[in-house]
Amino acid sequence: MSFEDGARDGPVPPARLAVIAGQVEGLLSEETWRLSDGELEALIEGVCRLVGRVAAARGRLLVEAQDRGFALRQGAVDTAAWLRGRLALASREARRQVALARDVHEVCRATGAALAAGEITVEHAVVICEAMRSLPTGVTPEQRSEAEQALLAFARSFDPYQLVKLAARQREALTTVDTSPGGDDPHADSHTGEHNNPGSGRTGNAGAGNADGDGDRADTNNREKPSPDPADIRRLTLTDTPAGTTLLSGELDAEGAALLRTALDSLAAPRPAVDGTPDSRSPARRRADALIDLISRALGVAALPESGGVRPHLTVTIPWSTLLAAGTIPATTSWGLPLPRAALARLSCDAEISRILLDPAGVPLDVGRSTRTVPAHLRRALAIRDQGCVFPGCDRPPSWCEAHHAIHWRDGGPTTLHNLLLLCPTHHRQVHHDGWDIVFTADHHPALVPPHRIDPLRRPRRNPYSQPPLHQRATA
């Protein structure tokens, strides 16, 4: 029944809304403590399913508004813009609502019917519509219908996150040309990526048939077209923000995502403290730390190709007064973002420093020789003495560590063995930011003094992993 029919046969649309609003008002004023468990269960499930039905009704209205050019007459660019201005929606949400309305009305009618019946959620419908749009171009209408029905069946048992994975597997099953690297069919000829179509003696898309019976020519044309590379979808965008941070967004194919997850998996594992205190970092923070850890290691071992004749490295421009903690001009990275002072202190513990004198116009007058704050021979000595990160409970080896000045060199601390220690990047940040102090014991090994909030007595701690057992030291 259309809205026009409803206007003749029943209440006009505003009256219908008044009836619905009255029912919702009744739910809001209900004394829920009087409900039995069965009534409570039924109401919760019913209201949740009602959300999908309301979204389906909203979709019909949005499609009608689009078809009659309603938004343009209201002075808006399109329906999404009108929604955003009228309801103060986020742009992304307004576009999502309009796209879903059009999809379930034109492309995924079965999904629209299930949404209107309250059988699936809005999130399920969005996943199914996106999956149907991503199906290979060669699938038949019957295959599309079967695929949609299969996803609807899955949606009744799986959450949207799992449904995304099932949809991806379904798409792969419907792809008769294997576009994955090295995905040649061992039973096919030498044309990379072309698999035999099930139920057909032809390769590529020839299984669709040719009305003129010219199968050989169609097969040849298909072979001349290169197979799409799944890696073409890869993208990574870095956007600087006014807060001095950078937003990362992107997309990876299945192979690239698997490689990234494999590389980050062990590095992103929770790291309990030596006393068993659980790692307080969120999973998202651990993954971000793992990515930085991975990048630091790649740069540290010079595994990346040269750029401009030098190995890739982090470059920070620091006014001399700022380096000595007396200036107000911030240090900046080579990408133009200011660097916090705490990060600057940590990075300059073990760095290669070049002196460049500038004239008032910023033109270099003199470039001095680059020198490392911790030279190679001291690094070797630190590796032998500390055996790795000296933070209590850490098992990171020397090659993963950075040299830290117990008394920073800009504060007069010498770059000598009795003022240096090895810390992994995570614990190096913790020492700089959380108030840990460093002392050297009678045997000239470093120990860490925790802040008062961790140990009110501030008793020095040593890492047992970085010290050889007593019987080895006795026989050394």
Q: What is the pLDDT at residue 169?
A: 78
**In b/e form, how buried is each residue of 437-460, taking b as 16+ CB within 10 angstroms?**
ebeeeeeeebbbbbeeeeeeeeeb
Tell me the range of 183-197, 387-401, 458-472 where mean pLDDT is highest.
387-401
Q: What is the pLDDT at residue 266?
A: 81
Residue 97 belongs to a domain: yes
For residue 436, the enclosing domain spans 372-475
DSSP secondary-structure letter at 10?
A: S
CA distance 290 to 453: 27
Q: Which of 124, 151, 174 is the last residue of a domain?
A: 174
CA distance 145 to 110: 9
Q: Are 93 and 122 in contact (CB under 8 A)?
A: no
Higher pLDDT, 240 or 405: 405
Q: Model confidence over 397-451: pLDDT tens digits?
A: 888 888 888 888 777 788 888 888 999 888 888 888 888 999 998 888 999 999 9
Higher pLDDT, 13 or 185: 13
Burial (Cβ within 10 Å: 0-12, 13-18, ≥19) of residue 31: exposed
Decide if pLDDT at 58 tops 90.
yes
Q: Are 159 and 127 in contact (CB under 8 A)?
A: no
Task: State how many domains the chain has.
Answer: 2
Portion of the chain with pLDDT greater than 90, in percent: 21
CA distance 261 to 294: 12
Query: What's the mean pLDDT in 244-256?
Result: 81
* Pick from 25-39, 101-115, 338-352, 379-393: least confident: 338-352
Decide if pLDDT at 107 tops 80.
yes
Portion of the chain with pLDDT greater than 70, in percent: 67
Residue 121 belongs to a domain: yes
Structure-token pair, residue 377: 């021979």
CA distance 164 to 391: 42
Q: What is the pLDDT at residue 312?
A: 45
Residue 302 pLDDT class (50, 70, 90 cuts): low
CA distance 331 to 317: 6
Q: What is the pLDDT at residue 409?
A: 72
CA distance 238 to 256: 18
Residue 294 belongs to a domain: no
Residue 429 belongs to a domain: yes
Decide if pLDDT at 53 tops 80.
yes
Residue 258 belongs to a domain: no
The CA-atom distances, in angstroms, between 85 and each of 17, 54, 77 are: 22, 21, 11
Q: Model confidence over 314-365: pLDDT tens digits?
A: 566 766 666 655 556 666 765 666 666 667 667 667 666 665 555 556 555 5
Query: What's the mean pLDDT in 278-292?
Result: 88
Average pLDDT value for the chain: 75
Q: What is the pLDDT at residue 372?
A: 61
Query: What's the mean pLDDT in 279-287?
Result: 88
Q: What is the pLDDT at residue 432?
A: 83
Greatest distance between any 2 Cα atoms in the chain: 101
Residue 161 belongs to a domain: yes
Residue 291 belongs to a domain: no
Spatial CA neighbour of 148 closest among 117, 109, 91: 109
Decide if pLDDT at 141 tops 70.
yes
CA distance 445 to 420: 10
Residue 209 belongs to a domain: no
At 177 the three-state DSSP class reads strand
Q: Which of 123, 141, 174 is the last residue of a domain?
A: 174
CA distance 398 to 383: 5
Q: Which of 174, 204, 226 is the last residue of a domain?
A: 174
